[in-house]
């Protein structure tokens, strides 16, 4: 029996508990089928925690989560929380900052049975997650947006060689596990200093990976080309804001945001969470697509497998991916947003069944 690993399960807000439960069902099925020795510990965060404890993230839950081997976090209603002084802690932001989860990994792959999916799409967006244009991430102290006078707003962008180098290294390492191609996406002819620095660091790293081919693309041209010829792209690395926008575009090209999984990863920690929001309009209706969260959970197993050198976790990751593929084949087991008629719970149960059947 392998050493036990603990997953901290934080359901989040609105549809978060529904799709997080679906992910846990899939992970439990993989745990039983492949003997992974996973342990799941659920903790309250978000609005439920705010109501019960006066804060969206208590100290005890924070401690339990950072001491776990991995975090499974449902979508959080960060925009609906009160000010931090009133208990409204940005839950994913707190973990991302404190655990230095600098790489946001977002895969998108089209499925033949899903309406509107672009055939040939199979990309991994590697998004720098710690700086850039995001004003909550680019200052040691203070906030990266100011309004010096009425009617004038200024937003600052921070790009460092350190952060650019390590996200490039992550991209090239992932390319070695995939199809050995990296595309560096920038707007370096306009943002000559910031995107120029990012590009130059990526090129430096590329020289250390002679077995991986690379190209570069301007961000607006990439947007058009990934639609027209998606099969040209494998791993795509970019700065924070570009990565946030383009990863959602790629999820849509794969068939919908409900399919887009993601992991925020650092050297010692990783947090799996869906790449979409908490969707309060469909909360509690058993309508949400669970696949984004299920895929995120599978990616967390893959990250743990790489970290601990455990082939059983990598095998389980692939098993969950195959189960998702099987469920997407039939409208009876995929949800309405991707052309099916299944509920969230029906789709989740079908994924767990397919894992146990080792499809």
Going across the sheet that includes 270-272, the strands are 38-42, 5-10, 70-73, 270-272, 263-265, 103-109, 122-128, 235-238, 181-186, 213-218
Would you give the distance in Å from CA 119 to the centre of its chain? 22
Q: Quickly state the pLDDT bin for 93 (edges 50, 70, 90).
A: very high
pLDDT at residue 140 above 90?
no
**String of DSSP letters for 235-249:** EEEE-HHHHHHHHHH
| pLDDT tens readout for residues 47-81 | 999 999 999 999 999 999 999 999 999 999 999 99
254 half-sphere exposure, CB direction, 13 A CA radius: 27
DSSP string for residues in 40-63: EEE---HHHHHHHHSSSS-HHHHH
Confidence of residue 114 (pLDDT cuts 50, 70, 90): very high
C-alpha to C-alpha distance for 142 and 123, rounded to whole angstroms:
36
b/e 48-68 (16+ beta carbons within 10 angstroms → b): ebbeeeebbbbeebbebbbeb
Instruction: Give the C-alpha separation, 112 to 359, whole Å.
Output: 17
**Mean pLDDT along residues 150-158:** 96
Mean pLDDT of 309-330: 97
Would you place residue 275 in the very low, low, confident or very high pLDDT band (cuts 50, 70, 90)? confident
């Amino acid at each position: 029996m392998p050493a036990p690993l603990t997953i901290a399960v934080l359901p989040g807000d609105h549809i978060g508990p529904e799709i997080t439960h679906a992910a846990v069902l899939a992970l439990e099925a993989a745990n039983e089928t492949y003997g992974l020795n996973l342990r799941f510990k659920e903790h309250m965060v978000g609005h439920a925690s705010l109501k019960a404890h006066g804060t969206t993230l208590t100290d005890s839950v924070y401690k339990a989560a950072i001491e776990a081997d991995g975090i499974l976090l449902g979508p959080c209603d960060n925009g609906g929380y009160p000010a931090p002084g009133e208990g409204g802690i940005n839950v994913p932001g707190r973990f991302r900052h404190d655990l230095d989860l600098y790489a946001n990994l977002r895969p998108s792959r089209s499925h033949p049975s899903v309406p509107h999916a672009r055939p040939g799409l199979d990309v991994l967006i590697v998004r720098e997650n710690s700086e850039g244009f995001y004003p909550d991430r680019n200052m040691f102290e203070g906030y990266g947006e100011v309004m010096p006078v009425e009617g004038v707003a200024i937003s600052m962008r921070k790009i460092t060689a350190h952060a650019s180098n390590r996200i490039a290294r992550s991209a090239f390492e992932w390319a070695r596990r995939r199809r050995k191609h990296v595309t560096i996406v920038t707007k370096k002819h306009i943002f000559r200093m910031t995107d120029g620095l990012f590009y130059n660091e990526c090129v430096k790293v590329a020289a250390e990976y002679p077995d991986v081919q690379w190209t570069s693309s301007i961000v607006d041209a990439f947007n058009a080309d990934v639609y027209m010829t998606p099969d040209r792209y494998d791993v795509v690395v970019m700065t924070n804001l570009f990565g946030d926008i383009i990863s959602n575009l790629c999820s849509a090209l794969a068939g919908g945001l409900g399919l887009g999984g993601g992991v925020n990863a650092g050297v010692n920690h990783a947090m799996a969470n869906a790449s979409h929001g908490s969707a309060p309009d469909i909360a509690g209706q058993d309508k949400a697509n669970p696949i984004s969260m299920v895929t995120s959970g599978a990616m967390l197993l893959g990250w743990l497998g790489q970290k601990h050198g455990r082939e059983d976790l990598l095998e389980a990751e692939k098993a969950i991916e195959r189960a998702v593929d099987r469920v997407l084949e039939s409208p009876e087991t995929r949800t309405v947003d991707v052309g099916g008629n299944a509920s969230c719970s029906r789709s989740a149960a079908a994924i767990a069944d397919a894992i146990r059947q080792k499809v």
